[in-house]
Amino acid sequence: MLTISTGNNAVAAAVKQASPAVVAAYPITPQTEIVEQIANFVTNGSLKAKYIPVESEHSAMAACIGASITGVRTFTATSSHGLLYMHEMVNWAAGARLPVVMANVNRAVGPGWNVWAEHTDALQTRDTGWLQVYVATVQEAYDATLMAFRIAEDRRVYLPVMVNLDGFSLSHISQQLEENPAGDFIPPLVLDHAITPEKPAGYGCMTSSTDYFRIRYDIERSMRDSVAVIRETEEVFASKFGRRYSWTDDYRCEDAEILIIAMGTLGKEAEVAVDILRSEGIKAGSMRVRWIRPFPDLDLGDRELVVIDRNYSFGFGGILASSIKAKTGRECFNVIAGLGGQEVTYHDIAGFVRNRRVGQESWFGVDA
């Protein structure tokens, strides 16, 4: 079915297809439309779920943990300070090996107060054990949410998944959406370590130093195993629905001598910049990184790299650029751009390439 939808409503539509048993909800701009639309589905009977309007984001994740640990499918959504508020519980969800799915509408973190797009909110949770995918279109927001349930609930993974979409520049933008009945794409959830009256257990007990490190290693083992599960899921999705995804979304990279690397909507904006640069005789290509955890093996070749970070780690640098350097040893020209919803056009991105200085960092709108 073809419709016109916002990114937020696309996520809600995918959640309805996935049929979670429990949805915990707390509003925060610019995510609120997701849980509002899901509430409408529950009210009109098109989604049979227990909808829990909690008193805080911390409680939202706690409710998801409590439900998931009994072996039922769960979902929640948040943004920015809401994600920070639930940070403690985000760690517990991964540590308990629970396949919670959460949409995070990327928004800047205060001070000062700002409701526009930035990736620092989600990237502050990148070491918690959650898988993280960043989307760039309304269709991808829908598709990634469907795939997130299948990936998280695979017994080789049993880790939560966060689907990230840029605030307003995707969450509230209307684009064409093809909705598909999930059918058997998302199998029934079977959580091997679920607590039931017949199989009672305890979670969160004191763990000694002889066991704690084994628990942490098991999270890492499953994060590594998720690589194969993600690949398999994307292949099954492509064969069933005809839309294909991979670790990166590459555009005109085959003969490129310069790669523009970014995440989210700036990664799509870069495609137009590539066309402009090509018309000038500059062999550019764009590589939009979709998964940040697990971090992909990037096919960079010997090309020059221009990495755009809509985030920052103070005293260290742009997080995507730093990750690429750490994983590959490659230097790049790192542009910090788009923080707090700062406008960045394809003309600006083309300018980053023309004025690149390999091995240096530049703040768009600050550096001369």
Q: Tell me the per-residue pLDDT of 122-165, one tens digit each, with 9 for 90 and over.
A: 999 999 999 999 999 999 999 999 999 999 999 999 999 999 99
111 belongs to a structural domain: yes
Does the pLDDT value for residue 2 go beyond 90?
yes
190 belongs to a structural domain: yes
Same domain, 176 and 290: no
What's the pLDDT score for residue 236?
A: 98
Structural domain ending residue among the three candidates 218, 241, 264: 241
The per-residue pLDDT of the chain, averaged, comes to 97
Peptide bond into 187 cis (omega under 30): no
What's the pLDDT score for residue 367?
A: 84
Same domain, 68 and 159: yes
What's the pLDDT score for residue 201?
A: 87
101 belongs to a structural domain: yes
Residues ≥6 apart with Cβ < 8 Å to 150: 185, 186, 187, 233, 236
Lookup result for tokens 């064969």:
239
**Do 101 and 221 form a contact (C-beta atoms < 8 A)?**
no
Q: For residue 170, give its domain range.
A: 2-241
327 belongs to a structural domain: yes
Residue type, 121: D
Residue 281: Cβ-neighbour burial (10 angstroms; 0-12, 13-18, 19+)? exposed
Task: Tell me the mean pLDDT in the region 172-185.
Answer: 96
Same domain, 235 and 136: yes
Structural domain ending residue among the three candidates 212, 241, 270: 241
CA-CA distances (angstroms) from residue 84 to 81, 115, 141, 161, 163?
Answer: 5, 14, 22, 16, 16
Does the pLDDT value for residue 368 go beyond 90?
no
267 belongs to a structural domain: yes
Same domain, 194 and 312: no
Same domain, 234 and 270: no
Same domain, 177 and 314: no
- Domain of 231, CATH number, reads 3.40.50.970
Percent of the chain's residues with pLDDT above 90: 97
- Domain of 276, CATH number, reads 3.40.50.920
Does the pLDDT value for residue 8 go beyond 80?
yes
238-277 pLDDT, tens digit per residue, is 999 999 999 999 999 999 999 999 999 999 999 999 999 9
Same domain, 106 and 208: yes
Residues ≥6 apart with Cβ < 8 Å to 246: 234, 290
Same domain, 66 and 214: yes
Same domain, 121 and 202: yes
Same domain, 38 and 81: yes
Closest Cα to residue 156, out of 233, 63, 59, 85? 233
What's the pLDDT score for residue 202?
A: 83
Same domain, 211 and 309: no
Cα(157)–Cα(171) distance, integer angstroms: 28
37 belongs to a structural domain: yes
368 belongs to a structural domain: no
Percent of the chain's residues with pLDDT above 70: 100
Domain count, the chain: 2
Structural domain ending residue among the three candidates 209, 241, 273: 241
Residue 331: Cβ-neighbour burial (10 angstroms; 0-12, 13-18, 19+)? middle
CA-CA distances (angstroms) from residue 101 to 61, 166, 262?
Answer: 10, 17, 24
Task: Tell me the mean pLDDT in the region 269-296.
Answer: 98
21 belongs to a structural domain: yes
83-108 pLDDT, tens digit per residue, is 999 999 999 999 999 999 999 999 99
What's the pLDDT score for residue 91?
A: 97
What's the pLDDT score for residue 135?
A: 98
What's the pLDDT score for residue 169?
A: 97
Same domain, 192 and 278: no
Q: What is the 3-state secondary structure (H, E, C) of 330-363?
A: CCCEEEECCHHHCCCCHHHHHHHHHCCCCCCEEE
Greatest pairwise CA separation for the chain in angstroms: 69
Token output for 31: 């995510």
What's the pLDDT score for residue 95?
A: 96
